[in-house]
Structure 1
Amino acid sequence: MGTLDGKVALITGAGQGIGQGIAYALAKEGAAIAVAGRTESKLVKTVAAIEEFGGTAIPVRCDVSVAEDITAAVEKTVTELGGVDILVNNANDSKPGALLDVKDGEFERAFASGPLATLRLMQACHPHMVARGGGSIINLVTSAAVRWDAGGYGVYGSIKEGMRVLTRAAASEWGRDGIRVNNVAPHAMTPALKWWIENNPEEAAEFVAGIPLGRVGEPEPDIGRAVVFLVGEDARYLTGATIPLDGGQSRWG
């Protein structure tokens, strides 16, 4: 018996990295997973891995910056898996960079795949969660937004802070519907972070040295397992919060 038996989770950006780790963790607790993302080959591999350890999952191709894709993704999840109890907004297309280098199109893409996609997905899942007596939403944000030196993180931090505000509003408005909404701000090994560490060894060593626990997190055991707790009954009275999963590196006010 898993703690999430009978639950259905829609997870964006679940074909790799943190999203994939969350998908594995929730599936091992019995949740059926809609593995959503842009690259079908990655989705199929993730689904196969979940099925190999006895879980249930389906691939759902979805570019979260496209409204029609979001509608179709939620409809497919409900049709094939029976509903939606858990939503994890992980996918985002935003990269660090100096403000003077940012082009309008890049910011628009970051916004469309960040706060706008988060709002659309929460809106689309809301009636299905209400129909099942409630649900839990997890939005992935970043400690880069509260760095003392925000240089290079203006766009990325701003769109993630927009998501944090949406989380607080949804927690306030939907609590009486039985829907809890929380943020996690993770540090974990992703393909992009692995590339950066390999290509910037000195800077990476300084980065890791600033983490009190002395290491970068792992997607499934460090982030995914925490999400299992947050969407489960043991966290039933927690909503509207931001949980830093970064080994103690950031200091949230």
Structure 2
Amino acid sequence: MPGLRGKAALITGAGQGIGQGIALALASEGVDLLLAGRTLQKVEETARLAASRGVRAIPAACDVKSSTDLAAAVDSAVAEFGGIDILVNNAQEVPLGPIDQVTDEAFTAGFESGPLASFRLMKLVHPHMAKRGGGTIFNFASSAGIRWDMSNYACYGAIKQATRALTRGAAAEWGRDNIRVLTIAPHAESPGLKAWIEHNPDEAEAFFRTIPLGRVGRLEEDIGRAIVALCGPDLGYLTGATIPLDGGQANFD
């Protein structure tokens, strides 16, 4: 992608799944990476794979529920790369189940790892992006927030809808700094989705029937490459939107 080589990205949840797929897609375009994840060994492996594509890739142990860890990750990226051009707020703990069975702790952890972590990182990277003339921020939502039947998904959906509101607000407030903020709502071959399919085979079968393309997205080829495209100049007029990368399933209108 023209213009991405030499830029720097910070990706949370980069040790596996969607975060790793995005990291590898960006590495293929020459983007240097600060790879944050709760398990250092996993992000070290992603860093090894990314570095083999010719970029600098720095692994960092990071619990996104810790404001100290988030600040340290941003400081490391700025120290290593001189700034941050792309932020991918991918990490998320998911509270699923009936409302009366989701604990306060699980609901709080969902907010802390989701919208609160995104909120904190967005504020931390904003001055660095503004100084470099702009940047692109990706937050993550889910079609779980707009299901016609919210049974068992109310807590998860509430968290993801809060993230969408943050995206809209930041896009409005930071557009004049040339910082674009987008929400991605993916279906992808992540460990989390694979585990859900394994534990909910009947619901999973029905789920696949509702995807017009008949499959979930590939981590690097479908989700990562879409992120690459969205960072590029051809889509530079797009901000504040929720973009479903889900094979045509959800209707966010």
CA contact (8 A) 1:137 1:231 kept: no
Separation in 2, partners of 1:196, 1:157: 16
1:132 positional shift: 0.6
What is the DSSP-based 3-state SS (H/G/I as helix, E as strand, rest coil) of the residue aligned with 1:93?
Answer: coil
1:50-109, Cα deviation, whole Å (9 max, x unpaired): 112323211011111111111101001111122100001000112321101011111111
CA distance in 1, matches of 2:150, 2:222: 25
The secondary structure found in structure 2 opposite 1:119 is helix
Residue pair 1:5, 1:31 contacting (<8 A) in 2 also: yes
The aligned residue for residue 184 of structure 2 is 184
SS of residue paired to 2:181? strand
- Which residue of 2 is the match for residue 31 of structure 1? 31
Spell out, residue by residue over 1:171-210, the C-alpha distance to the aligned partner (whole angstroms, 9 max, x if none): 0000001100011100001112222323444432222121
- 1:196-242 residue CA offsets vs partner (Å, 9 max, x unmatched): 32344443222212110011111111111111111111111000000
Post-superposition shift, 1:122? 0.3
What aligned pairs does 1:132-143 form with structure 2 within 5 A after superposition?
132-143=132-143
Q: Distance in 2 between matches of 1:90 and 1:121?
A: 11
> Judging changes above 3 Å, is the alpha-carbon distance between structure 1 residues 103 and 201 closer, same or farther for their aligned structure 2 residues?
closer
Equivalent residue, structure 2, for 1:194: 194
* C-alpha contact (below 8 Å) 1:62/1:70 kept by paired residues: yes
Judge conservation of contact 2:96–2:102 (CA < 8 Å) in 1: no
Letter in 2 for 1:118: S
Deviates more, 1:200-209 or 1:8-17: 200-209
How is 1:203-242 mapped onto 2 (pairs within 5 angstroms)? 203-242=203-242
- Equivalent residues of 2:27, 2:53 under 8 A apart: no
Shift of 1:9: 0.3
Unaligned 5+ runs, structure 1: none
Mapped contact 1:13–1:19 kept (Cα < 8 A): yes
**Secondary structure, aligned partner of 2:126:** helix
- CA distance in 1: counterparts of 2:228 and 2:53, whole angstroms: 17
Distance 1:226 1:95 in 2: 27
Q: TM-score, normalised by structure 2?
A: 0.96
The total of aligned residue pairs comes to: 253
**Identical residues among aligned pairs (%):** 57
Find the counterpart in structure 1 of residue 149 from structure 2. Answer: 149
CA contact (8 A) 1:25 1:221 kept: yes
2-side partners of 1:199 and 1:118: how far apart?
29
Could you say which residue in structure 1 is the equivalent of 2:61?
61
